[in-house]
Chain A
Amino acid sequence: MAEKSYRDAIRDAMMEEMDRDENVLIMGEDIGVYEGTFRITAGMLKKYGPKRVIDTPIAEAGMAGTAVGMAMVGLRPIVEMMTMNFSIVAADQILNHAAKVRYFSGGQVDVPLVIRGPQGAGVQLSAQHSQSFESFYGHFPGIHVVAPGTPADAKGLLKTAIRGRDPVIFLESAALYGMKGEVPDDPDFTVPFGESRVVREGSDVTIVSYSRMLQVSLTAAERLSKDEGIEVEVIDLRTLRPLDLEPAYASVSKTHRCVVVQEQWKPFGAAAEIAASISEHNFDELDAPVERVTGEDVPMPYARNLELLATPHEEQVIAGVKKVLYANG
């Protein structure tokens, strides 16, 4: 184990897989000479050369479509979106082609493709560059949606994505790039898709979360334990599609109260899907409606103070926990 940043964990995952399999390559805007807007690809052009680290024009649909074709004939392309917000330009390639090729080919053709990049708020990139896409992509069958909340998961899940047979939307939290954590050195360390985990055990309330909101939830849980004696069980979903809610169901059977925390907007968000599933599955176990803690329903402001107000923080999570405990007075 070594302490690594989320950013370095992602780079390590890609370089280990490029060492392991010469069919793995990466393409994107400013990833080669400039070494990436978020410096994820630092040093990669030098090591692997321009055939495997490809600087593209500013043409997301073009690079996504090219990558779908590469994947169909046996390569394992990784496409870096400068931010996932730009992937909207490539939505047709991703949703109508990458997600459908196996189906349309009667199972004959796989698309082993990873589309990765940062998303979410917290780094003052304003309304067009701070959005979250898990419910957007999670809606469609045919693609996996991954949202790691720790450096180790970022590495393990990305390696699973690169080695797999399917198109994967790999959502990195821009605000977590600098976060450090223990990351296994084993080059064959991977984290399977569809295995949620209990990150913190507790008996009073279940929090279900993922990505950056996992860290916010854990901080809130520590504060609730220390200040109020409330023990929160925190579950990290890790992948939104496939979505493994079994640990959440088991936890809610124990705590009878549930808060789902997401950064994205409340309407039609991932938390809505999760809360509905828990209500369906745990109806007789619930002592309060499943609470959603989400971002404010506005375009993300650029101003630092407004951005802070528009994204969920520990205070909102704590208030949500107290609400389902009927402890708000």
Chain B
Amino acid sequence: MPKMGDAMTEGKVVRWYKKAGDVVKKGEPVLEIETDKVNLDLEAEQDGTIGQVEVQEGQMVPVGGRLAMISAPGEKIEKSEKPEKSEKPAEPAPTQRRALDKKDSIKHSTGEYGEAMEMKGPRIDRSAPPAAPLRVVEGGKKRSSPLARKMAQEMGVSLDAVQGSGPQGRIIARDIKGAPARSLPATAQKLETKEIPLSAMRRTIAKRLAESTGPIPHFYLTADYDVTNLLLLRAQLNEIENTKFSVNDFVIRAAALALRHHPNVNASWGDEAITQHGEIHIGVAVSTPEGLITPVVRNADQKSVMEIATDVRTLADKAKNRKLRPEEYQGSTFTISNLGAWGIEEFTAIINPPNVAILAIGAAASRAVVIDKQVVIRDRMKITMSCDHRVVDGAAGAEYLKTLRQYLEQPIRLIV
């Protein structure tokens, strides 16, 4: 049983690959052992024939204990007690040498040089077991230039999906430029309308929470988003397009795209079942002299920011002139209320039934934030999500806000 680390005193035989009488070649695995840290195969150190197997599978063996014998070709197989050669403890020597090293260094450190070294910093404890050497697996991680990696991260491109054109397949900047944005986590499932029968647990949650806070048990989650890139993108688009985009147009698209990953948030409560909607219709709160109304951007997840901007402009004009038709303000599956234009930093909104969630969007503003231990100025925006706890639990709401972050903070995803 070889010593595989300083702390190892014994090892377990997991299984034998060979049995007595088998012929083995040098380097061929003979058995698998388990230490307190790893499982690994022991290989034959020379060609030969397996003689007596002295340890059964599952048995513990002290370090240095005999596992089996390998006889050289032609050598007679004996059942002797003489120590076998091939499975002798693997290099106990380095351990000892390290211990000596430490003593040596203490001895040498009695001089002024040693004192200077002591003052310079803590001595490394060389008696600790050495870290396992790093192994580079051929064909594993793709080669890529630092710039390419940085660009891929900024643009949301997966290096796995990119073919490198540099030497040895190195992915370089020009390979990233043409690459498609990373498809978001698996949840981009196909949407369909379906009823999920209320489970007993869900009924109880709903009942208890409703009793506690009213017909819709609200709770609130606030997230602070870095919208520096979003505002830059908006400024750039406003320069090249005729339409003037508002921040809210981007938020609507981001919210709709994020809903695709979280159909449980794009839902309605019913006494017998929760309905997850097959389409994403975003209600947009619009203030009119008569009061609040929420015209609906239909299938917002399938519309470009430009189309959303046009829809919102048209609907808001109609709302202000009281010309909205019922089908233009009914049927939302999710709602957004934005008081950023009024300079509101953050607020909570009341859910718009039969939705189960609403986003309250605060004003985007420059703030001092800490990045890499440096205070830098970034544009930040707070969003508070009100959730209907009968349908959306805390973690589910938080997951939605997390997905939303990917869109708001990497806004290239909103236009590609």
A residues with a Cβ closer than 8 A to B are: 256, 283-288, 326
The 0/1 profile, CB within 8 Å of A marked 1, for residues 167-188 of chain B is: 1000011100000000000000
Secondary structure call for the A interface: loop
A287–B148 contact, CB under 8 A?
yes
- Expressed in whole angstroms, the minimum distance between the Cβ of A63 and any Cβ of chain B is 39
- In the A-B complex, the 8 residue pairs with the closest CB atoms: A287-B147, A287-B173, A287-B145, A284-B146, A284-B150, A256-B147, A287-B172, A286-B146
Besides A286-B145, A326-B174, 13 other A-B contacts (C-beta < 8 A):
A256-B173, A284-B150, A285-B150, A286-B146, A286-B147, A287-B146, A287-B147, A287-B148, A287-B172, A288-B166, A288-B172, A326-B166, A326-B172
B302 at the interface (CB under 8 A from A): no
Give the docked Cα–Cα distance between A285 and B148 (Å): 9
Secondary structure call for the B interface: helix
Which residue on B lies nearest to A283, using beta carbons?
Answer: B146
B165 at the interface (CB under 8 A from A): yes
- Expressed in whole angstroms, the minimum distance between the Cβ of B292 and any Cβ of chain A is 48
Which residue on A lies nearest to B147, using beta carbons?
Answer: A287
A285–B165 contact, CB under 8 A?
no
- Expressed in whole angstroms, the minimum distance between the Cβ of B151 and any Cβ of chain A is 9
Give the docked Cα–Cα distance between A283 and B165 (Å): 20
A285–B167 contact, CB under 8 A?
no
A-B contact pairs, 20 of them (CB 8 A): A256-B147, A256-B173, A284-B149, A284-B150, A285-B146, A285-B147, A286-B145, A286-B146, A287-B145, A287-B146, A287-B147, A287-B148, A287-B172, A287-B173, A288-B145, A288-B166, A326-B166, A326-B167, A326-B172, A326-B174
The 0/1 profile, CB within 8 Å of A marked 1, for residues 129-153 of chain B is: 0000000000000000111111000
Which residue on B lies nearest to A323, using beta carbons?
Answer: B167
B residues with a Cβ closer than 8 A to A are: 145-150, 165-167, 172-174
Give the docked Cα–Cα distance between A284 and B147 (Å): 5
Give the docked Cα–Cα distance between A283 and B147 (Å): 8
Give the docked Cα–Cα distance between A286 and B146 (Å): 6
Residues of B within 8 A of A287 (CB): 145-148, 172-173
Give the docked Cα–Cα distance between A326 and B166 (Å): 6
Residues of A within 8 A of B167 (CB): 326
Give the docked Cα–Cα distance between A135 and B145 (Å): 29
Which residue on A lies nearest to B176, using beta carbons?
Answer: A287
- Expressed in whole angstroms, the minimum distance between the Cβ of A290 and any Cβ of chain B is 12
- Expressed in whole angstroms, the minimum distance between the Cβ of B173 and any Cβ of chain A is 4
* Most interface-central of A284, A287, A288 (chain B CB within 10 A): A287
Give the docked Cα–Cα distance between A198 and B150 (Å): 27
A326–B165 contact, CB under 8 A?
yes
Give the docked Cα–Cα distance between A296 and B275 (Å): 76
Give the docked Cα–Cα distance between A284 and B148 (Å): 9
Give the docked Cα–Cα distance between A285 and B146 (Å): 6
Residues of A within 8 A of B174 (CB): 326
Residues of B within 8 A of A284 (CB): 146-147, 149-150
Which residue on B lies nearest to A282, using beta carbons?
Answer: B146
Give the docked Cα–Cα distance between A326 and B165 (Å): 8
Give the docked Cα–Cα distance between A287 and B166 (Å): 10
- Expressed in whole angstroms, the minimum distance between the Cβ of A92 and any Cβ of chain B is 26
Residues of A within 8 A of B145 (CB): 286-288
- Expressed in whole angstroms, the minimum distance between the Cβ of B170 and any Cβ of chain A is 8
Give the docked Cα–Cα distance between A284 and B172 (Å): 12
Which residue on A lies nearest to B145, using beta carbons?
Answer: A287
- Expressed in whole angstroms, the minimum distance between the Cβ of B320 and any Cβ of chain A is 48
Residues of A within 8 A of B147 (CB): 256, 284-287
Which residue on A lies nearest to B148, using beta carbons?
Answer: A287
Residues of B within 8 A of A256 (CB): 147, 173
Residues of A within 8 A of B149 (CB): 284
Give the docked Cα–Cα distance between A200 and B173 (Å): 24
